[in-house]
């Protein structure tokens, strides 16, 4: 079995992966099982060490490289988070079309590739993650790397018309053909990628083989999952989860709780969600005093103007709703800007009769899956999920809503409040069975099997032809 090399912007918490979530657990388990290397940015822009720092963590290694402040500004703050992130989430209005950022992004991808290349073994399997490293595989190939290299995109892939607005979009897509396997969250993301290749780059598609720029690769949808049974057990049995659930139930004093958990990000549809809750209280007076909406939204990228403005907007909306509808013994909206430990979140999910997950655009959304996994099968809550979240394709039993339609979301909340126990149980069981089948281990194993078994055969066939 070949050694596995994981490449991501930040190196996962190997020593306490379970605290960080199912994705880290799945990758660490694979690295430990076969020996491996996890490589990425150190998180440091001040202490400029020479070269790559490698440390041993049991059977696997961690390798990290520093960035200069200028590299961080152009690669991370610039191209990754001011260009790719908004554009891939269809926010052209927030995209910074600055070619300087792309040059910085390309240089950092080349820097990281040159740091990894001397550490590679001939039979390594390399798995690169997310939009920070679209150009990484091509940089490795330019250095002479011939190993199997796969790439998985954790965020949505945009339509050809949207992607074409980005300067250097052609170079980005060309670089993706240095990989042997491309993985996307949903079949729709895969379709948009193939559409771009055919319409904009003159390539062609045959099944899951995509040919362009003189190379044929495998491109498929690999929807990411969670550790379903592990999270369910945590919610039901861990002391921290039970304590948080009991605390929440006491504070509710017989009322129902609706929960949303999201990073503070303009892709999550939080202002629209707050407005939908206000519309519920206005249209359905019976919800007043009976429903508490808990929104947990830890601050992210607080140095970006768009995020600061959104936080101010949400604080204004929550204050308005509580001032307009609140009573001395009932606060309708509890809005919290700090993160909670996963065990505590599991308890809060289990205490919530409704999960409100309505992003404007999302690659997958694992919160929706964790909410379902945390439920009590005897008395499960109801998931309301945006039709623009990748998770909706795996979770058709959720109540699907258009997050832009404030009234539709309000009506869905009212529907969920009065849904019968029988229907809630039927929806939950179907959702839970699907989450168990397509869990994070299945996602990991499916991708690696394609990269390690199908891709080499395909490359050998290409060479012989």
Q: Exactly one of 29, 73, 154, 208 is catalytic; name it.
A: 154
* 154 given a catalytic annotation: yes
Question: What b-and-e string marks burial along 270-282, b requiring 16 or more CB atoms within 10 Å of the CB?
Answer: bebbbbbbbbbbe
Please identify which of the residues 66, 74, 180, 362 carries the catalytic annotation. 362
Annotated catalytic sites, by residue? Answer: 154, 362
């Amino acid at each position: 079995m070949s050694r596995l090399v994981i490449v991501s912007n930040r190196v996962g918490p190997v020593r306490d992966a379970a605290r960080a979530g199912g994705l880290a657990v799945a990758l660490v388990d694979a690295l430990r099982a076969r020996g491996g290397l996890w490589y990425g940015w150190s998180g440091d822009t001040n202490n400029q060490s020479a070269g790559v720092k490698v440390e041993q963590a049991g059977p696997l290694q961690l390798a990290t490289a520093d960035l200069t402040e200028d590299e961080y500004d152009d690669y991370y703050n610039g191209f990754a988070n001011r260009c790719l992130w908004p554009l891939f989430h269809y926010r052209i209005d927030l995209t910074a079309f600055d070619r300087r950022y792309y040059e910085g992004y390309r240089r950092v991808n080349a820097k990281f590739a040159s740091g990894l290349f001397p550490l590679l073994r001939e039979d390594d399997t390399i798995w690169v993650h997310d939009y920070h490293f679209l150009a990484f595989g091509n940089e490795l190939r330019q250095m002479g790397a011939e190993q199997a290299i796969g790439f998985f995109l954790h965020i949505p892939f945009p339509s050809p018309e949207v992607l074409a607005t980005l300067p250097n979009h052609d170079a980005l897509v060309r670089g993706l053909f240095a990989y042997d396997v491309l993985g996307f969250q949903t079949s729709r993301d895969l379709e948009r990628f193939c559409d771009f290749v055919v319409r904009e780059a003159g390539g062609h598609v045959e099944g899951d083989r995509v040919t362009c720029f003189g190379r044929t690769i495998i491109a498929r949808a690999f929807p990411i999952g969670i550790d379903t049974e592990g999270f369910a057990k945590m919610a039901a049995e861990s002391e921290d989860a039970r304590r948080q659930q009991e605390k929440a139930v006491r504070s509710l004093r017989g009322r129902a709780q609706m929960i949303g958990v999201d990073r503070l990000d303009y892709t999550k549809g939080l202002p629209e969600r707050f407005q939908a809750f206000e519309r519920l209280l206005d249209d359905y007076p019976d919800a007043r005093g009976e429903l508490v909406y808990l929104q947990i939204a830890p601050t992210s990228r607080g140095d970006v103007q768009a995020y600061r403005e959104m936080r101010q907007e949400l604080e204004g909306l929550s204050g308005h709703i509580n001032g307009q509808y609140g009573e001395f013994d009932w606060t309708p909206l509890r809005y919290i800007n700090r993160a909670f430990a996963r065990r505590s979140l599991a308890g809060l999910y289990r205490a919530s009769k409704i999960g409100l997950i309505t992003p404007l655009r999302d690659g997958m959304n694992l919160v929706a899956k964790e909410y379902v996994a945390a439920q009590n099968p005897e008395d499960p809550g109801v998931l309301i999920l945006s039709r623009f979240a990748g998770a909706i394709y795996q979770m058709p039993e959720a109540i699907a809503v258009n997050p832009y339609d404030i009234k539709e979301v309000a009506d869905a909340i009212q529907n969920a409040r009065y849904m019968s126990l029988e229907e809630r149980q039927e929806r939950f069981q179907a959702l839970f069975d699907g989450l168990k089948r397509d869990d994070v281990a299945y996602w990991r194993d499916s991708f690696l099997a394609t990269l390690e078994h199908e891709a080499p055969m395909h490359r050998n066939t290409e060479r012989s032809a």
